[in-house]
Structure formats: structure tokens, C-alpha cells
């Protein structure tokens, strides 16, 4: 699936939302990509994610690791299509770690899979957990890169599609200034 087809699929499935959103990064945005609406239909998820087979054909790795919770189903479907092992990390007391008996062999080559990359914070936390567990991160992949190229990973980044979406600090947010209520649709909950 080509980049423009991925964006069209998100739009057709109501997964490209418009409004006033508080992102996991703490930034505000007028758009939100809700990948779970893509993942709810296994045939559609398979179709969208299959586009990464070509993108990743020259990347050598043994295992796919995703940050919980948004990346789990994406990472699992990608691992299924590529016949790789699938693990995920979780936050415990604010720190991303492996739980549930998951472990890596020393030097195990890992691809990090996150459904949507905005600032790259969760992905970087996942990378640290992998390195702390002895793994070697060979790259990062996503369905959507909405970072405008600013995520700044220390490894190659292989997104399937990119979307230009503006993000704002709360103090600079035009929707806040207009008094538009802010919605938190993502996986991290903030105490405000």
C-alpha cells in the first residue's frame, strides 16, 4: 500500500480525526490518528501493514518490539506478516520496561514498531528498554510518521506514510485560545 493509499484508508475508516486533542507527548493538535480504528478490522490491518514488507525487505532483525499500548496490535500484525517474534514494553512507574516474562538474548537484533510517531518519546523509551535488556535496535518503523522528520532516532526510520499535522504547546495552542475543549484519545493518561 502506497503512502497516499494509507492516508486515504485512515480517512475512510474515520481514523484521521479532526478537533482539539491532547497528544501523548503533552502537545496539542487539531488532528489525531487513531490507528485502532484501522486495526479493528483484521483484513484492513493486514492490507495496510503489508505495505511495510517492501519497505523493510533489506532490514535484518529477529524480533519486533512495540511500546504499549498503541503499538502492540501493529507490531503483532507486522511480526505475523514477516514471520518474526513479537514483544512489547510497558510503563511501570513511568519507566518503559519488559514484563510478562519477555526477554531478549544479548545482541538480539530488534526492530521497534510504533503505529504513529509524533515526537518519538515512547519509541525512544522502548529503544532504551531494549538496549537495557541486551538487544540491538537496528531500526524503527511506523504506519504513520507525523513528526515532520523531527523524531531524531539514532537508528534508521522506516515509516509507511507521513502526514503533516501541526502540534502546539498548550500556551501557543490556537484551539485553547478559542476555548475549544481538549480531548485525550491516546494511550497515556495525564493528571491535570
Average pLDDT, the chain: 91
Total domains, the chain: 1
* Domain limits for position 50: 3-178
Q: Hey, what's the torsion of the CAs at 39, 95, 133, 74, to 10 degrees?
A: 10
Kindly state whether residue 54 falls inside one of the protein's structural domains: yes
Report d(CA 154, CA 149) in Å as an integer. Answer: 13
Residue 187 lies in a domain: no
In a domain, 184, yes or no: no
The pLDDT, as a whole number, for residue 186 is 62
pLDDT at 187: 54
H or E segment to which residue 160 belongs: strand 157-162
Query: Is residue 15's pLDDT more than 70?
Result: yes
Quick one: pLDDT at residue 43? 96
Average pLDDT over residues 137-165: 93
Would you state the pLDDT for residue 70? 84
Lowest-pLDDT choice from 22-31, 36-45, 75-84, 151-160: 22-31
- Beta carbons within 8 Å of 183's beta carbon, 6+ residues apart: 19, 20, 21, 22
CATH code of residue 9: 3.40.50.2020
Mean local confidence (pLDDT), 91-104: 94
Asked whether residue 185 is assigned to any structural domain, the reply reads no
Q: What is the pLDDT of residue 190?
A: 42
Q: Say if 190 falls within a structural domain.
A: no
Q: Report if residue 191 sits inside a domain.
A: no
Residue 186 forms part of a structural domain: no
pLDDT at position 134 is 97
* Residue 132 located in a structural domain: yes
Amino acid at each position: 500500500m502506497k503512502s497516499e493509499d494509507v492516508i486515504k484508508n485512515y480517512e475512510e475508516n474515520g481514523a484521521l480525526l479532526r478537533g482539539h486533542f491532547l497528544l501523548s507527548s503533552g502537545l496539542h493538535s487539531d488532528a489525531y490518528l487513531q490507528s485502532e480504528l484501522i486495526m479493528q478490522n483484521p483484513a484492513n490491518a493486514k492490507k495496510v501493514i503489508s505495505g511495510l514488507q517492501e519497505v523493510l525487505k533489506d532490514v535484518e532483525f529477529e524480533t519486533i518490539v512495540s511500546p504499549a499500548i498503541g503499538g502492540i496490535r501493529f507490531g503483532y500484525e507486522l511480526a505475523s506478516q514477516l514471520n518474526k517474534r513479537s514483544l512489547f514494553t510497558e510503563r511501570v512507574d513511568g519507566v518503559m520496561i519488559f514484563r510478562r516474562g519477555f526477554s531478549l538474548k544479548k545482541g538480539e537484533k530488534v526492530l521497534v514498531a510504533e503505529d504513529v510517531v509524533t515526537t518519538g518519546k515512547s519509541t525512544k523509551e522502548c529503544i532504551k528498554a531494549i538496549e537495557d535488556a541486551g538487544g540491538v535496535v537496528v531500526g524503527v518503523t511506523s504506519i504513520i510518521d507525523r513528526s515532520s522528520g523531527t523524531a531524531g532516532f539514532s537508528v534508521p526510520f522506516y515509516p509507511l506514510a507521513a502526514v503533516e499535522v501541526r502540534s502546539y504547546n498548550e500556551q501557543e495552542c490556537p484551539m485553547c485560545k478559542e476555548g475549544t475543549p481538549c480531548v485525550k484519545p491516546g494511550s497515556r493518561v495525564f493528571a491535570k
